[in-house]
Structure 1
């Protein structure tokens, strides 16, 4: 598995990855994005921004980069960066299929992405991803599996994914929604030829949404690499939106809300890689302080009071505006 190299890495940032959801397209739901990106959302501007972030992340020890077919031009930007830096051969590249980007490079589209977990979509989008990333693509994930996803029961799709795995591609899945734990457990039961199909799981976990933790621990114990997304709750845990309990802990650590929020996730024993969704190099630098945050028991107890009921958390997330 490509993530095996991270298990022996010694840099403090090796378990932080960089996700490109916020910089691969002009519109996204992160709070504060208007200030982060400004008015220039052209393809060239976001390509330059993405490359600056990738350069800064790589220089500071980050070795996992995460894209998706629905993240606008994220795969293209990442592919361009890799092509321009042929000496960068020690990174792990992940992407996702199952959503199509439909906003046509606007911020006010009626629908920004459309979900489809069919075999036909997998075959089309894998060809698109490979056309851009070639053999640099290490991990291919089903995007946002839910308990009712046909990707959990489509035997023909499973066979094609197993073929991809046999050729050297790591096959994983991501989850979203209030029933993440149910989706994770269902995916752990998917086998081909008696062998588990999935080798990674990427799920939302943060101080506000902790419901997937037991299932993620089970996935880790089953041998899957766990990738955590949305550790900043789409900006709800960042300044100036951070809740009072988090601010109280931050005052004691003398670091940023983001570093503390990410540190809380990094300390979970099942967390293999925790994604930064930084949109600026300054944000990234602050995120990368997370490994040095040492949270005391009373601070952890205070942060535990932030957890929300999953349905309420995801309902609020669904109301975040694209901007």
Structure 2
């Protein structure tokens, strides 16, 4: 195995029962919040036992933050690091028929409210992010919010970051990188969507490779679209090639998708978003091999226009 595990655990599927993804396996179990909590605790511990040391969470992920806060009190391992976010509130109340799952609010009041809880993740909390910063929310122009984030950074010696979602990821990154407070670049960590299909952030590869904080890569499986399925016949050639690589390296297609991201940004932390131990073990095999430069080039050729990628993603349902 390679010396360093560069895979962290994204906790969206651990803290809430539904998220935007292609569901490849149907469950007939009726939902039980008690059982869901127990499964969540087990998923966190299993990730730790499998070598995961970074956990990415958010108040928008249902009970994910509270589960992690409780688990950290028991674990007390200084090698653990955490990133969390502010700006989304989970509102579905674990109802599978809910029409609204989360509410976005990038106000100073929401920042103050959510930081009150998120600060309980200290001293493990190393990155505090704006959740899905966009140009439309104007959060990057809100001097009150930016000043408070700078204060949090200084008071707790943590990196301030943001996550990006949508076909204007590049524009958001550019705007954020240009924000300085007291002569310092405020945003020193970014969490971005990047995968074989969505490669737009490569435009800032040099800047992202030299962050003071970390680049965190999310949605490496393109919300399930990179797992072969009949819904996307236009990707059949890609699926065949990924299957060939998986057979060559004795891993699953998921590990191929994750290794592509790891090789594209060698200093990045790549998130696994699973709540299933078998799937996590399969994901972690991305640490065990490297794709050749030729294979990387072939996979990169399957990238699509960012606008097309996000139009396709918007058609996915919560499941």
Q: What TM-score do the two structures reach when normalised by structure 2?
A: 0.90
Q: Distance in 2 between matches of 1:217 and 1:108?
A: 44
1:22–1:30 CA contact under 8 A, matched in 2: no
**What is the aligned length?**
311
Q: CA deviation at 1:27?
A: 1.1
SS at 2:291 equivalent: coil
Q: Distance in 2 between matches of 1:260 and 1:198?
A: 30
Q: Which moved more, 1:238-247 or 1:177-186?
A: 238-247
Q: Residues 107-159 of structure 1: CA distance to partner in whole angstroms, max 9, x if unpaired?
A: 221111111111111111111323x5354433211001123332211111111
Question: CA distance change for structure 1 residues 83 and 221 in 2, over 3 Å: closer, same or farther?
Answer: closer
Q: What TM-score do the two structures reach when normalised by structure 1?
A: 0.89
2:57–2:65 CA contact under 8 A, matched in 1: yes
1:108–1:322 CA contact under 8 A, matched in 2: no
Q: Residues 44-88 of structure 1: CA distance to partner in whole angstroms, max 9, x if unpaired?
A: 2222222222222222322110001100100011112112323x2
Matched, 1:158 2:146: yes
Which residue number in structure 2 is paired with residue 314 of structure 1?
310
SS at 2:55 equivalent: strand
Which residue number in structure 2 is paired with residue 180 of structure 1?
169
Following TM superposition, the consecutive aligned residue runs of length 4 or more in structure 1 with deviations greater than 6 angstroms are none
Q: CA deviation at 1:222?
A: 4.6
Question: CA distance change for structure 1 residues 280 and 240 in 2, over 3 Å: closer, same or farther?
Answer: farther
Q: CA deviation at 1:236?
A: 1.4
> Runs of 5+ in structure 1 lacking a partner?
1-9
Question: CA distance change for structure 1 residues 270 and 173 in 2, over 3 Å: closer, same or farther?
Answer: farther
Which residue number in structure 2 is paired with residue 82 of structure 1?
72
Q: Distance in 1 between matches of 2:8 and 2:88?
A: 21
1:52–1:281 CA contact under 8 A, matched in 2: no
Which residue number in structure 1 is paired with residue 44 of structure 2?
54
Question: CA distance change for structure 1 residues 213 and 206 in 2, over 3 Å: closer, same or farther?
Answer: same
Question: CA distance change for structure 1 residues 240 and 80 in 2, over 3 Å: closer, same or farther?
Answer: farther
Root mean square deviation of aligned Cα: 2.1
Which residue number in structure 2 is paired with residue 299 of structure 1?
295
2:81–2:126 CA contact under 8 A, matched in 1: yes
SS at 1:203 equivalent: strand
Which residue number in structure 1 is paired with residue 247 of structure 2?
251
Q: Which of 30, 44, 49 is matched with 2:21 structurally?
A: 30
